[in-house]
Amino acid sequence: MTDLIFATQKELDALVEMSNKYGADADYVLAGGGNTSFKTGDVLYVKGSGTSLATIKSEGFVKISRAELEKIWQMTFSDIEAEREAQVLEAMMDSRLKGEEKKRPSVETLLHDLLEQKYILHVHPSLVNGVTCARDGEETVKKLFPEAIWVESTKPGYILAAACKKKVDEYKAQHGRAPQVIFLQNHGIFFAADSTDEIDAIVERTMSAIKAQVKIFPCKDEVDHDEALAEKLAPQIRMMYSPDGEAVVKYTANHDIIAYSMTEKSFEPIKGSFSPDHIVYCKASPLYVENKGDDTMDELEKKFNEYKAENGYAPKIIFVSGVGMFACGATKKEADTATEVFEDAIKIADYSASFGGYLPLDDEMTNFIKNWEVESYRAKVALSSAPKKRLAGKISIVTGSAQGFGAGIAEDMVKEGAYVVIADMNLPGAQAMAQSLCEKYGKGAAYPVFVNVTDEESVKNMIRQTVLEYGGIDILVNNAGIVRTGSLEEMTKQNFELVTSIDYTAFFVCTKYSVVPMKIQRKYSPDYMADVIGINSKSGLEGSNKNFAYAGAKFGGIGLTQSFALELAPYGIKVNSICPGNFLDGPLWSDPVKGLFVQYLNAGKVPGAKTVADVRKYYESKVPLGRGCVPADISKALMYIVEQKYETGQAVPVTGGQTMLN
């Protein structure tokens, strides 16, 4: 092995750059798939399974001995499909160089080695698959690309590699060189060249030639659809898919989705699977449900159960006529991936209309993919979920979470596995907060929504956006709040009503609309429980001098907590409040202009205080544990409230001992 010729760093850098370029382009790579390679005379560097082209680095490629790969063609394998593929996989694993034992080579490794060119790019552009998944696909390729190879739909793995080898050998015998382009029916395309610049040029020529023949292009424009019904169906689907609620349902509606959904006949082109990817990430077929108005939920339940009984698993993609598409998954990532992959199938159906019409995989091929170990492994790696956490999969809304207590609570919830909607009037702040959480904890961990909690329509929109993005609601954290201090003489009616509308009335409005999907979830999973949690205050437990507007609203909030708890208990919805002490480091207190330190100083609430520091010291001295409350203190109480199943209507003090229950 010491005499092997390895790639230079420059060549590997070019391989990484090419991989990242096409991997980051949704027009070329589907669900992190596709693969690339570089070869010397001795060594093949091929993308490892479970890695993403968009982010792969040089260490993500598996180094394989080409001489050992060549020996595979002389081996004899079992006639039994499962045994044969396992034997071929073992032989490929044995071809890895020393030190590569923890990496698993791409299933198409043998195909990469067949072509003698240095650089190989294998991708699945929907535009290309509009040809490879069309009735006139082969004819189109022969006409547009006479020097390319067409390989008929073949079982992936060794059988496909053998079919390609036969075609490549025939091509080389006829032309004296290897082909640069291979079209795989229902499976994408291979590009081969000795430089990445040449790869780019071939890709551009190929895509332009196909595009010039297309008469119908995909359309994602907005069209009329029944979003109100979608808001009811998403929580239903979520609980039928996973009765314990550990699932996400992503709703999508646009021109093409609605057009294909209108009738069973219009749905026909997307009823089957076009490629192995569509089966791996979306199952072999979607479920179609007719919109029956008020009876649609019953129809959906019936069709869902029939599908599950027939197939042995729940559908991942559901279309409801005139409503749209629902993609299911155990995680947000899984549901988003299913959405992305099926939208690709819709594009393929659109493009194929220009090349003789759609041609999905046949039943034999579909059944093979469904049971193929290699594709099952790929799906498992790509869609694996994080280790179980305390709030794993809980779909949550935290109002007023762009900053302060709310931001801290939201982050702690995401750390523990929850999906959190960052709902705030400060939309840029909510967007920044959500982006930060997604960067830290993964795409889809948080989602920004504008809300004015005093406006009923705004709250209804917040609930709808949450349900259509994630599929339901498990936890509402009513955190948004405001303080306006002052004596009876100083307090204006306008400020009093402002505090009341945000700190009291908004709790009612947010609860009123959040429990609608919670009740639907309970209907389809009788043991399921949800939570409404008010972030109240120690001022809700005892009066507050010259702060009566705030204290009165918070006292009222505890009254609402107890009353809601009684009403909602039959639906498995627990309602509790957390009564924190003073968050002295948060903007509510420390803002240099509007903060409570400034307000209390100006209102003379702290006798003898001459500075903001005096006010802070005074409030710290009132706490037996000697400090202000921090978000982590509240989060611990919140976790307890969610995890316990036998407590509702309570006001949990988190005050450092400053306020104690009698």
Q: Is 241 a catalytic residue?
A: no
Q: What is the DSSP string of 358-427?
A: B-PPPHHHHHHHHT-HHHHHHHHHHHPPPPP-TTTT-EEEEET-SSHHHHHHHHHHHHTT-EEEEEES-H
Tokens of 313: 């698993």
The answer for 657, left when phi > 0, alpha when psi is -120 to 50, beta otherwise, is left
Tokens of 593: 């202009």
Q: 210 by DSSP, 3-state: which? A: helix
Within a 10 A sphere around the Cβ of 393, how many other Cβ atoms? 22
Structural element, H or E, at residue 310: helix 296-311
Total number of residues shown for the chain: 662
Q: Which of 2, 27, 263 is nearest to 127 (CA)?
A: 27
Distance CA 303, CA 233 (A): 13
Residues 6+ apart with CB under 8 A from 570: none
In this structure, the strands spanning 324-329 and 248-252 are antiparallel
Distance CA 80, CA 83 (A): 5
**Which H, E and C letters describe 328-374, residue by residue?**
EECCHHHHHHHHHHHHHHHHHHHHHHHHCCECCCCHHHHHHHHCCHH
For CA atoms 513, 514, 516, 517, the dihedral sign is positive
Strands annotated E in 12-112: 35-39, 43-47, 61-65
Distance CA 318, CA 336 (A): 14
Amino acid at 270: I
Give backbone dihedrals phi and psi of 199, rounded to 5 degrees, phi first.
-55, -50
Catalytic pick among 288, 550, 600, 619: 550
Q: Which of 270, 325, 25 is nearest to 133 (CA)?
A: 270
In this structure, the strands spanning 61-65 and 287-289 are unpaired
Sort 40 into a burial class: Cβ within 10 Å, 0-12 / 13-18 / 19+. middle
- The alpha carbon of 531 is separated from its chain's Cα centroid by a whole number of angstroms, namely 23
Q: Looking at residue 58, what DSSP letter applies? A: G
Say how many CA atoms lie within 13 Å of 193 toward its Cβ. Answer: 15
Tokens of 361: 């995989």
Which residues are catalytically annotated?
550
